[in-house]
Structure 1
Amino acid sequence: GTVEDLELTDVVQQGFGSILNVECGGPEPGVGCAGRGIITAINFLEEEGAYEGLDFVSYDVLGDVVCGGFAMPIREKKAQEIYIVCSGEMMALYA
């Protein structure tokens, strides 16, 4: 399917303490940019009014892929604060 086929209720799940959760994927491995999935998801959620009435929004994204799509929320000032969490392994710090 495509984003055009989705409704907000198709992708939003309510979890513990009334926390709303959304998980998005990307293209098949080796076919496209995973960051494009993040851009598409954020745009869809904005267009469908998913952020209305929320006190807090948190994104958990992979940081080990060199892709401009992962920086889009930062570039467009969609993030007020950014926290980078990684293990103490040197490879995690290089990513």
Structure 2
Amino acid sequence: MLSPRFQGLKIIVSDSAMRELFKLGKDMHDVLEVLESGYDAPRKRKAGTIERWLDKGKKTVNAIIALDYNETMQEECWVLVHFGKFARNKK
């Protein structure tokens, strides 16, 4: 099985993000959908970190990835550090 990629780099899932995905019943296809089809979050993140949001009905799904170096594979990769879902505020 090929590893999912975003902007040409592999995506590795952290333990906490894996628990969040499992709790929400989501998988890496959902993560890629948010990263590729979503929009940048309104808040700022430090350099090398991307937060993307995707609206689904009355909820917004978000994914946060950080640039890292994988010693085992000896290459740069993205680490999924958070995947969540929240209700948007009514305006």
TM-score of the two chains, using structure 2 as the length reference: 0.24
Q: For the pair shown, which has the larger CA radius of gyration, 1 or 2? A: 1
Structure with greater proportional helix content: 1
Structure with greater proportional strand content: 2
TM-score of the two chains, using structure 1 as the length reference: 0.23
